[in-house]
Structure 1
């Protein structure tokens, strides 16, 4: 499932489920529906991460160490970016347009790489880590400035999505 068009279908399904879960979490006032949507999103993340973690853990000589290093780097970056938002109290909502354009470019490159058979390489991963970092700043800023205290489920879904995106590309 991790090669070619099968992977594109899986990513498309993941994007559909993500969009659905975020929509339910934002529009529904019912907490049980919001938790169900969050659970659905976590299940979709598991489907995306299982092949990557399996390959890293069992097909690389230093797999467990690489997983541990990726987790430490991801958590350090996440903590640092989150601290920037909490310390500066700056509103990072201005990043939305740039992030949107960046993610559409990334999706286009992923589709083109699959269709034409080229590897996106290290610089694509670096770019995606930068996008994920911007997304963490944006989502954390939203958590502080946009969401009410009873909207913790949609706020956490967005922040969790940004964290997992960063982990994916660090790994």
Structure 2
């Protein structure tokens, strides 16, 4: 086996070690989803928080909200990635899940209020999990390293940010096809993160691996909801 920074590289680990790593990683992704749902429920118990989040969707305030979200999530992600302290990693993961729950408030509120319940969210959740499982399976079946798509994903995210900024500043709706494109980008991110998990991480890096997958999953969920809402 090979060691890198005193860790066993997953690609050089035994089958038992790899299986244990995958179980821990996906268990932590599931834990992230549960934390997101708990934080979402908690935030919706306070009407003032909901009203504040809704007020931040207007004009330049949405840019401020997005900027704050990106700062917090980047800090949380870097905290998880740069330390091996498990407690610190969990705190960073929890902060990331909380930030996701907060920025989802307006979207979930609109989905519930304007479609008469949670049916749309449930359908979007099922579709998102199905896509997540299917895309992840591609890596495990093909055993290919998809690191080469990183440059394309980076460029795609920069283009998306530019379009979002233009939409807010000039007041136009990005529409259905933007959501479809973002779902494709999120799918590529899941493919990349799963590949990183299989080929790049050490056997003790299941929390960072889970955070990368969780982030991509939440991005996909956001735009699947958008697509469902555009149909209703």
TM-score, with normalisation over the residues of structure 2? 0.71
Shift of 1:141: 0.5
Any idea what the Cα deviations from partners look like across 1:90-129, whole Å, max 9, x if unmatched? 1111110000000000000000110011110001001100
SS at match of 2:115: coil
Task: Tell me what 1:52 maps to.
Answer: 107
Q: Residue 124 of structure 1: which of 164, 178, 182 is its match?
A: 178
Question: Matches of residues 1-171 of structure 1 in structure 2 within 5 Å?
Answer: 1-61=56-116, 63-171=117-225
SS at match of 1:19: helix
- The separation in 2 between residues aligned to 1:87 and 1:136, in whole angstroms, is 15
Deviates further, 133-142 or 52-61:
52-61
Shift of 1:19: 1.1
Shift of 1:59: 2.2
- The separation in 1 between residues aligned to 2:64 and 2:176, in whole angstroms, is 23
Aligned pairs, how many?
170
- The separation in 1 between residues aligned to 2:144 and 2:171, in whole angstroms, is 42
- The separation in 1 between residues aligned to 2:58 and 2:181, in whole angstroms, is 22
SS at match of 1:90: coil
Shift of 1:65: 1.8
Q: Which has the larger radius of gyration?
A: 2
Name the Cα RMSD after superposition: 0.9
Shift of 1:3: 2.1
- The separation in 2 between residues aligned to 1:3 and 1:133, in whole angstroms, is 29
Shift of 1:28: 1.0
TM-score, with normalisation over the residues of structure 1? 0.96
- The separation in 1 between residues aligned to 2:161 and 2:167, in whole angstroms, is 10
Any idea what the Cα deviations from partners look like across 1:54-105, whole Å, max 9, x if unmatched? 11112223x4221111111111110100111111111111110000000000
**Structure 1, unpaired ranges of 5+:** none
SS at match of 1:68: helix
**Structure 2, unpaired ranges of 5+:** 1-55, 226-232
